A = this chain, B = another copy of it.
Amino acid sequence: MSNSRFPVSLHILTLLNEAKGAVVSSEYLAGSININPVLVRKEIMNLRKHGFVESKEGKGGGSFLAKSASDINLGEVYKSVRGSNVLGQSKNEPNPKCPVGRQINQHLDSLYSDAENALIANLSKQTLADFASKFE
């Protein structure tokens, strides 16, 4: 997973929340985040797929929150963007001839998912509304 997807998504959501329902273009979002608009649109595609935002095509189009900020949980947002695990990829290829190498991936996986669940549980204590309130 790209290491900046979560921050970018949260930034987008925060801006959309500021907009209070108004439609915001990817160009504008990209300007605030200071990244490429295409990347913003890709991230929005994902946020839309997960029901956090909606988009409107055509002139005057753009995106807006699909639900109330207090119904958008940061743990859910995290889950929507994380591809692989946080602690390291399990796509390493340890030597199968080594007794440790042979089975380490499965143990790492369970260690990771456990730890990641703790992280998600922590993020889940906050909603977008909580986060956005810090910008007042």
Contact with B along A1-29 (1 / 0, CB 8 A): 00111111011001100100000000000
| A58 part of interface (Cβ distance < 8 Å) | no
> Chain A at the B interface: mostly helix, strand, loop or mixed?
helix
The docked-state distance in angstroms from the alpha carbon of A121 to that of B90 is: 22
Chain B nearest Cβ from A126, distance in angstroms: 7
How many copies the complex holds: the figure is 2
Taking a contact as CB atoms under 8 Å apart, the answer to whether B33 and A101 are in contact is: yes
The docked-state distance in angstroms from the alpha carbon of A118 to that of B116 is: 9
> A11-B104, A32-B98, A134-B107 given as contacts; is B4 within 8 A of A92 (CB)?
yes
The docked-state distance in angstroms from the alpha carbon of A135 to that of B123 is: 32
Interface size on A, residues (CB 8 A): 49
Chain B neighbourhood of A8, CB < 8 A = 88, 92
> A101-B32, A119-B86 given as contacts; is B135 within 8 A of A94 (CB)?
no
Q: Which of B7, B99, B118 touches A122 (beta carbons < 8 Å)?
A: B118
Q: Which residues of A contact B (CB under 8 A)?
A: 3-8, 10-11, 14-15, 18, 31-35, 74, 78, 86-90, 92-95, 98-101, 103-104, 107-108, 111, 114-119, 121-123, 126, 131, 134-135
